[in-house]
């Protein structure tokens, strides 16, 4: 009979782009809990823009298990390379850290459990134009067309309000700093 030891959280190194495979296989093991936060974002490819999902920490995941009795079994799972260790020391991840991370991830999750990168824009919201000939002007959102990644704004030109259509990526929320990558281009 195996001696029971308390389960703890550990960082596992996965095979390249095999985080989800490792999680699926680890979940089949009794006494093993996993946590793999993922992000979802729009990525430009040759086929156009697509939604891309990847691990928040590529090549790593968190797993809770009894290290004494399950370490060999965990590392033999398809998709897992090793338990992260420093020499002979295999550090445990503090429970408070894992719980705080789970809480933070829950705030930004969509229905699939992924963190969606970007900010949500709403009609009537005030935004600032971050690039192009209208850079620095502020306007109110009139219409959002997410499929075309375009937005219609109401801008004040010399005392007269005019609607203007712009790229969604050229905007920032009013009162926020312009991202560093945009500042470099100005």
Domain boundaries in the chain?
A: 8-116, 126-184
pLDDT of residue 1: 53
Coil, helix or strand for 95?
helix
Which DSSP helix (H) or strand (E) runs through 154? Answer: strand 150-157
Neighbouring-strand partners of residue 140: 126, 154
CATH 3.40.50.10800 applies to domain 8-116: no
> Which residue, among 152, 166, 101, 85, has the nearest Cα to 124 in the 3D structure?
152
The model's pLDDT over 21-38, given as tens digits with 9 standing for 90+, comes to 999 999 999 999 999 999
Dist CA 6 CA 14 (whole Å): 24
CATH 2.30.30.30 applies to domain 126-184: yes
* pTM of the shown model: 0.64
Q: Output phi, psi for 52, to 5 deg.
A: -115, 135
The model's pLDDT over 57-103, given as tens digits with 9 standing for 90+, comes to 999 999 999 999 999 999 999 999 999 999 999 999 999 999 999 99
Q: What is the largest CA-CA distance in the chain?
A: 83
Bridge-based pairing of strands 115-116 and 38-45 is parallel
Dist CA 67 CA 70 (whole Å): 5
CA 77 to chain centre: 25
DSSP one-letter string for 116-150:
EPS----TT-EEEE-SSTTTT-EEEEEEEETTTTE
Mean of the pLDDT values across residues 168-176? Answer: 69
């Amino acid at each position: 009979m195996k001696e029971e030891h308390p389960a703890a959280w550990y960082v596992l190194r996965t095979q390249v782009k095999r985080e989800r495979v490792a999680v699926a296989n680890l979940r089949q093991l009794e006494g093993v809990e996993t946590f793999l936060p993922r992000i979802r974002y729009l990525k430009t490819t040759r086929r156009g823009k697509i939604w891309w999902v990847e691990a928040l920490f590529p090549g790593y995941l968190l797993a809770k298990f009894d290290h004494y009795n399950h370490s060999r079994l965990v590392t033999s799972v398809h998709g897992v390379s090793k338990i992260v260790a420093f020499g002979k020391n295999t550090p445990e991840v503090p429970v408070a850290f894992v719980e705080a991370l789970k809480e933070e991830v829950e705030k930004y999750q969509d229905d699939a459990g992924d963190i969606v990168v970007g900010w949500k824009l709403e009609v009537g919201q005030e935004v600032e134009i971050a690039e192009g000939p209208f850079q620095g002007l502020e306007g109110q959102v009139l219409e959002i067309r997410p499929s075309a990644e375009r937005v219609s704004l109401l801008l004040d030109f010399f005392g007269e309000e005019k609607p203007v259509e712009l790229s969604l990526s050229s905007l920032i929320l009013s009162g926020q700093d312009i991202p560093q990558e945009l500042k470099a281009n100005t």
